[in-house]
Copies of this chain bind each other. A is one copy, B any other.
Amino acid sequence: MIDVSDLRFLTALSAAPSLAAAARALNVTPPAVSQRLSLLEDRLRLRLIERGRGNLWLTAEGAYFVERAKGILDNVESLKDEMSARAGRVEGPLHVIAPFGFGRLRVAPVLARFGNENPELRPTLSLSEDPVNTINSGLWDVLIHVGRLPHLRITQRKLASNRRFLVASVSYARQCGLPQRPQDVSVHRVGVVRENRADATLWPLTGPGGIETSLRVQPVYACNDGEVLRAWALDGFGIVERSEWSVSGDLAEGKLVRVLPDWSLPDADIVALLNPATVRSLRISKFVDRLATDIGNT
């Protein structure tokens, strides 16, 4: 009597602000939605959605139905995934969320290669300012995070370790000199990545022999994109704090030099979070394996 498509249908409706909007989302005409909803309500002999002036809202029964439907749909989806995993196939949608910079520069190439090797894969990469905040959206399989994490009840896997450096360009070093002690930084021009909450102007430094100190910097320039900051540093702007993954090439090529090389900032390791609802598919485990090898060796 009840069908998977019914579950999908009402779940889609519950996410839409109006029947017309749902119709657009489902790529059908409004009467189709209206009729189908009526039919479903007739079959259940129960009102699921209260449609009033303007927007619509679920009845208590409708809300309960949607809640249960989501569970069942998860089950059905994961069954499908598990069957294809048992067949050893890498296929289906793979939705990856990653931070802007790291995602664009490091994740995207891996995902592209992985997708090419597995023609039946349908990869999606969502770059986000704050990936961790989108965890609860549910619409993702793998989420890449750089840095510390609050304690989450989610499977995570470390892809690579990642130190954070203070760097400056060679030209800047030549022109202005470099600080030898943390407190000397205050006379330099400093740039920071100003992101969401993390206090970017407080640098907890660990020095030789384990000495710890916190350095409050007064940044001259700031940007929420670390790559912009890196570019500024390369242009000789001043001292910036960047991740190892971002500047290791520049350091190796001698374009940038480390500032206070004996002092270290807390690590910001690169981890992959796995969505518990979809984790059983082969495409996901293989992709994470791939990330670990490819990113680990860059």
Task: List chain A positions with a Cβ less than 8 A from chain B.
Answer: 1-5, 44-46, 60-61, 64-65, 68-69, 71-72, 75-76, 79-80, 82-84, 86-87, 89
Contact = CB atoms under 8 A, between A and B. Distances in A.
A2 B4 contact: yes
22 contacts: A1-B80, A2-B4, A2-B76, A2-B80, A3-B4, A3-B5, A44-B80, A44-B83, A44-B84, A45-B84, A46-B86, A46-B87, A61-B83, A61-B86, A61-B87, A64-B86, A65-B83, A68-B79, A69-B79, A72-B75, A72-B76, A75-B75
A160 to B, nearest CB: 35
Contacts of A65: 79, 83
Report the copy number of this chain in the oligomer. 2
Most buried by B among A5, A44, A79: A79
Contacts of A80: 1-2, 44
Given A68-B75, A75-B71, A46 B83 contact: yes
Q: Find the residue from A4, A61, A68 having the highest chain B CB count within 10 A.
A: A4
Contact of A68 (B1, B3, B68, B82): B82
B89 A45 contact: yes
Nearest to A75: B72
B79 A45 contact: no
A277 to B, nearest CB: 15
Contacts of A68: 75, 79, 82
A292 B70 CA distance: 37
A68 B87 CA distance: 16
